[in-house]
Amino acid sequence: MDPTRTGPIALAEARLHWLDARQRVLSQNVANADTPGFRPSDMQPFAQALAGVQGAVARTDPRHLAPARDARAQRERRVERSMDGNGVALDREAMRIADTETAHALAVGLHRRYLGLFRTALGRNQ
């Protein structure tokens, strides 16, 4: 059994792949900020993408917390358009890019720490 393909390391790697794809989508939005009629897009939330791969998260006990609905996502669906029909708001895209960058730094940090734990356990911490 390969410990890097299960648990937190695999989850961090999946998150990094998702964040990479999201950064590409957001950069396309910014690049087309002046394109008439362009509609910005975004990735589905990581939790939904992960649920599609691993199966839906189930509440096995009524005392478990129910998944929260993202009110911010509901508000962002109503996109205001400019006179030329472009729906890109650079301030909104900048916030999404910053969120993605912060999440990327966190995922990389977690990945490094878990690999460091394995190296320490193997006596190879240098």
Which segments of the chain are extended strands (E)? none
Amino acid at 71: A
Q: What confidence score (pLDDT) does residue 74 get?
A: 46
Could you give the CA distance from residue 94 to residue 46 in angstroms, rounded to a whole number?
A: 19
Q: Which residue has the tokens 């009524």?
A: 62
Q: pLDDT digits over 17-56, tens only? A: 999 999 999 999 999 999 999 999 999 999 888 776 554 4
Q: What confidence score (pLDDT) does residue 75 get?
A: 47
**Residue ranges of the domains in the chain?**
8-34+84-126
Return the closest-CA partner of residue 41 out of 83, 79, 14: 79
pLDDT band at 59 (very low <50, low <70, confident <90, very high): low
| Token reading at 34 | 């002046």
Q: pLDDT digits over 67-104, tens only? A: 555 545 444 556 677 778 899 999 999 999 999 999 99
